[in-house]
Structure 1
Amino acid sequence: MDVTSDAPRRPSSRNSKVELESSSHIKVWRPRVPPQILLLDLLFAVALVCGAAFALSKYHAHMNYYDRLVLVFAIPALTMLGWRWKPSRILIVGIAALSMFAIHLYSDDLGRADQTFFLRYFLSSQSAILWMSALFVLATMFYWIGMLSRSLSAGAIASKLTWSAVLIGFVGMMVRWYESYLMGADIGHIPISNLYEVFVLFSLITALFYLYYERHYNTHALGSFVLFIISAAVGFMMWYSVSRDAQQIQPLVPALQSWWMKIHVPANFIGYGSFALSAMVAVAYLMKDKGVLDDRLPSLEVLDDVMYKSISVGFAFFTIATILGALWAAEAWGGYWSWDPKETWALIVWLNYAAWLHMRLIKGLRGRAAAWWALTGLAVTAFAFIGVNMFLSGLHSYGKL
């Protein structure tokens, strides 16, 4: 007779605990994000709101309705950026703190740029942009050293140099904006009005996108390629400033005296920066595909993914910029489209990347063909960016090289 067949089993302590928990209908909410991080996120959002309120109260006389609207909408955008990409919070706070410190040192006197130590050597717009340029070149060197020697410390130093360059570069742009108003209320404008200024913007945006991908994919290898084109842009900017004295702040030409410029140009250069980044990743893809630096570069799948994401982001912003440009043209020249050389080449750039994305999504474009196409797109984009100014003329002749 089996005496254990009908005997009730005594539950183990672990099973009884599970049964007790399942029998009780009490649900304990546990946040997925630790309270400390939630508190920091909240403090960051509050700091942005306070900063925007301060800017509105102090500089509202220099802002029209649209400027204030852009500032208000920038708060949730920067908040979401800081929440999703934590390192950007330090960057945003650093830019604000250093910019306000520089403005405080000026004390409404432009002449203090040559009298105050920190302004003269670090925080005036020209000093800050020179520091940015030097840091980008140093970062490029360290990225190459790190990749060729497989040195993790060199790659980490390169990344920190790039972050520093982005920080001081944006501070230089903010201070340059303030300096233009110190020169005169009729001269003051956002510093994105000539080739010198937009090359600074291009370098900063391209570097910022690269830093995001570097952290997301946990690799420093692509910095050697992306920082190379940024260093090339810095070299052109230095040549242009020496040959044309372009670093000097100039009054806006009448065609640019519009609030449209403040949103059209940044959107445009987010597109240009993303396209340039995708082209340099394409170079890395083609080199790895040929077996060059094969063991030092990320996988072809990662390179392909970065290339695709960069073109997608660039295309979205370039589309927005093209629409904004058409609206600006309607206000300035009375028509949405005039087949001006700059407009025509902007359309060619848009069609090129629209075709790339179409082939990618519909036909499954991958591999060497996608990489060569992305690299060729850099030539098309470069001509639209610089070549039109050098060789063609039209309604955009105020930007002539």
Structure 2
Amino acid sequence: MNTTTLTLPRRHPLAGRSPLDWAFAALVLLGAGYAFSRYHLSMDVYEKGILTAAVPALIALGWFWAPLRTLTVAVGAASLAAIALYARQTDGFGADLAAADQVLLLKYLLSSQSAILWMSLLFFMSTLFYWGGFLTRSGSNSMAEVVGSKLAWGGVFMALVGTMVRWYESHQIGPDIGHIPVSNLYEVFVLFSWMTALFHLYYEQRFATRSLGAYVMLVVSAAVGFLLWYTVAREAQEIQPLVPALQSWWMKIHVPANFVGYGSFALAAMVALAYLLKTAPVRSLWLGLVAMPLAIVLLILAVRLGASLDADTLKGMDGWAAKITGVAAFLAL
């Protein structure tokens, strides 16, 4: 028997790129160049390194998944529009944040708190539409699930706009107060919500099915529900200076990297739940229902512990004391 081995040439990553790919790359490079030229004196070496690494990463993501190009450009345009509206009114330090209650577009759409409230509404509505399509068993072309998917995209968009604008707002309060908005439970639950929804939207397109949207958006809606409760109970939407334990450039890397994992595992958990509900014996399902309340109680205790550590316990701690407390919280979880 004769066999023939064919060696196919490996495709170069830059081969076959469309004009839109190159236009997106040029736009990212121009934006990063402008940011560096204007703000490099206010950036330390770590922040310059993060900005430099973010450029090829964002370009690669946009090339890998085309919808991210549109999302990035739309979020950037909306964020710049909000900044321009804030810049019309200034105070002794920078933009007057009172404009968020006086300028129509800021008050009802583009200020950070308004955008995050829109995110909450859109994610809740997306969950309802996904479940509407799931319960009617209309298949992958269900109009309700199509609407649910579009609403999820809208929620991701508003969450990112709210995050970008909140970052800008923090820098307008006073010197050395501005920071990336991933420093407390309010901000990281926004991060978790849009990241989990975005992961789901990728796999929804990748596998051409919307059947898991009803399950995944339940987790997102639960996170949004906690976010709204936390906002009312603790006034968490107020921007606060960083406590000493969080004043590190690692926060810009550590927290987003953590929530990549949290969002991915939340998605995996709901896929597993859907599989179990479809295939598990009835007895196993009943055992799961008995065990679930205990798991929920433990989760609530862990979240409450995190909430107390978030603003109160960590205040005034030095670096090692904060690390030891964080390890204790992890073991409790």
1:388: how far off? 4.2
Alpha-carbon distance in 2 for matches of 1:58, 1:111: 25
Alpha-carbon distance in 2 for matches of 1:390, 1:183: 24
Query: Which deviates more from structure 2 when the two are superposed, residues 281-290 or residues 116-125?
Result: 281-290
**SS of 1:127's equivalent?**
helix
After superposition, where does 1:103-182 map in structure 2 within 5 Å?
103-107=83-87, 108-151=95-138, 152-182=142-172
**SS of 1:183's equivalent?**
coil
1:382: how far off? 4.8
Q: 1:250 to 1:150 in 2, by over 3 A?
A: same
1:70 equivalent in alignment to 2:50: yes
Alpha-carbon distance in 2 for matches of 1:218, 1:269: 25
Question: Which residue, out of 224, 230, 247, partners 1:234?
Answer: 224
Q: 1:224 to 1:252 in 2, by over 3 A?
A: same
**SS of 1:178's equivalent?**
helix
Alpha-carbon distance in 1 for matches of 2:298, 2:30: 39
Alpha-carbon distance in 1 for matches of 2:304, 2:102: 40
Question: Which residue, out of 176, 184, 204, partners 1:194?
Answer: 184
Query: Which deviates more from structure 2 when the two are superposed, residues 69-78 or residues 381-390?
Result: 381-390
Instruction: Report the AA paired with residue 129 of structure 2.
Output: F
**SS of 2:322's equivalent?**
coil
Alpha-carbon distance in 1 for matches of 2:49, 2:298: 31
Alpha-carbon distance in 1 for matches of 2:262, 2:34: 32
Report if the CA contact (8 A) 2:245-2:322 is conserved: no
1:32: how far off? 12
Q: Deviations for 1:45-71, whole angstroms, at most 9, x for unmatched residues?
A: 101101111222233343221112111
Seq. identity, %:
54
1:183: how far off? 0.6
Aligned to 1:49: 29
Report if the CA contact (8 A) 1:203-1:234 is conserved: yes
Q: Deviations for 1:109-141, whole angstroms, at most 9, x for unmatched residues?
A: 222111111101000000000000000000000
Alpha-carbon distance in 2 for matches of 1:239, 1:248: 14
Paired residues in the alignment total: 288
1:204: how far off? 1.1
1:286 equivalent in alignment to 2:266: no
Question: Which residue, out of 14, 32, 38, partners 2:18?
Answer: 38
Instruction: Report the AA paired with residue 187 of structure 2.
Output: E
TM-score, with structure 2 as normaliser: 0.79
1:395 equivalent in alignment to 2:312: no
Aligned to 1:328: none
Instruction: Report the AA paired with residue 22 of structure 2.
Output: L
Question: Which residue, out of 209, 219, 235, partners 2:209?
Answer: 219
TM-score, with structure 1 as normaliser: 0.66
Instruction: Report the AA paired with residue 235 of structure 1.
Output: G
Q: Deviations for 1:313-364, whole angstroms, at most 9, x for unmatched residues?
A: xxxxxxxxxxxxxxxxxxxxxxxxxxxxxxxxxxxxxxxxxxxxxxxxxxxx
Alpha-carbon distance in 1 for matches of 2:203, 2:183: 29
Of structures 1 and 2, the one scoring higher in RCO (CA 8 A, sep 6+) is 2
Alpha-carbon distance in 1 for matches of 2:269, 2:60: 28
Alpha-carbon distance in 1 for matches of 2:19, 2:58: 17
Query: Which deviates more from structure 2 when the two are superposed, residues 106-115 or residues 225-234?
Result: 106-115
**SS of 1:248's equivalent?**
coil
1:33: how far off? 10
Report if the CA contact (8 A) 1:95-1:170 is conserved: yes
Aligned to 1:102: 82
Misfit runs of 4+, over 6 Å? 31-35, 378-381, 391-394
